[in-house]
Structure 1
Amino acid sequence: MTLAEEFRSRNFSIYGQWTGVICIILCFALGIANIFHLHWIILFSVICLVCSLVLIFVEIPLLLRICPTSSSFDAFIRKFETNYMRAAIYFVMALIQFLGIIVKPTSLIAAAIVLLIASIFYALAGVRGQSFVGSKTLGGQGVAQMIV
């Protein structure tokens, strides 16, 4: 299945996974950009950086096979294999970044909005009863099992 066929499948978990990849890039970039503030916003930028690192392992399952991680970290990441759990983690991350607006409005709001969009995609996949389908491009559907 090519990338174009994956997007035409109308499976919201594919849309959520690719939005998650955008979240990884955005959270990392905005976390670094906002870490230089001399304000409480530093805390939210560090949280944004940590979120990007967690999302890398949630959205790209191939990295769990390649990178040396502890068994407890692997067990934590494997909790997010369903659409509802992914929607929940994205919603919590978005909520934390939206709370950062109370402290000081910064560009972290862009990360919060994209995290919320990913959460909505995964929630729609769960509500529609679509099973989670990982993109082959990102290491899903048997690609991670071939690397052993």
Structure 2
Amino acid sequence: MTLSEELRSRNFSIYGQWTGVLCVILCFALGIANIFHFHWVILFSILCLISAFVILFIEIPLLLRICPTSAGFDAFIRRFETNYMRAAIYLALSLIQWLSLVAARTSLVACAVVLLVAAVFYALAGVRGQAFVNSKTLGGQGVAQMIV
């Protein structure tokens, strides 16, 4: 299945996964950009950077096979294999970034919005009863088995 076929599949878990990849890029870039504030925003920037790496391992399952990680971290990441659990983690990460508005108005609100969109996609996939499908482009079913 090619990327265009995946996007035309109308499976919201695929949309959520690709939105998650966008979240990784956005959280990493804006986390670094806002870390130079001398304010409470630094805390939210660090949390944004941490969430970028957590989302990276959640959305690209191939990384769990090729990166040396602990058994505890692997078990934590494997909790998010269903649409509802992914919606929950994205909602929690989004709420953390929304709370950054308490410290100051920064570009971290863009991360909060995109994380919320990913949570909505995963929640819609769960409500519609769509099975969670990993994108083959991001190291889904076939690619992970080829590595081992």
Q: What TM-score does the superposition give when structure 1 sets the normalisation length?
A: 0.99
For 2:47, the equivalent position in structure 1 comes to: 47
User: What aligned pairs does 1:1-148 form with structure 2 within 5 A after superposition?
Assistant: 1-148=1-148
The alpha-carbon deviation at position 142 of structure 1 amounts to 2.5
Deviation readout 1:68-122 (Å, 9 max, x if unpaired): 1111110000000000000000000000000100110100000000000000000
- Distance in 1, Cα, partners of 2:144 & 2:58: 13
- Distance in 1, Cα, partners of 2:110 & 2:26: 8
Instruction: Give the ranges of 4+ consecutive aligned residues of structure 1 lying more than 3 Å apart after TM superposition.
Output: none
User: Structure 2 counterpart of 1:21, which letter?
Assistant: V
- Distance in 1, Cα, partners of 2:132 & 2:106: 33
User: Structure 1 counterpart of 2:42, which letter?
Assistant: I
**Secondary structure of 1:142's aligned partner:** helix
Structure 1 unaligned segments of length 5 or more: list them: none
The alpha-carbon deviation at position 143 of structure 1 amounts to 1.4
Structure 2 unaligned segments of length 5 or more: list them: none
- Distance in 1, Cα, partners of 2:49 & 2:98: 15
RMSD: 0.5
- Distance in 2, Cα, partners of 1:2 & 1:40: 43
- Distance in 2, Cα, partners of 1:137 & 1:18: 10
Q: How many residues align?
A: 148
- Distance in 1, Cα, partners of 2:70 & 2:145: 19
**Secondary structure of 1:53's aligned partner:** helix
- Distance in 1, Cα, partners of 2:28 & 2:7: 25
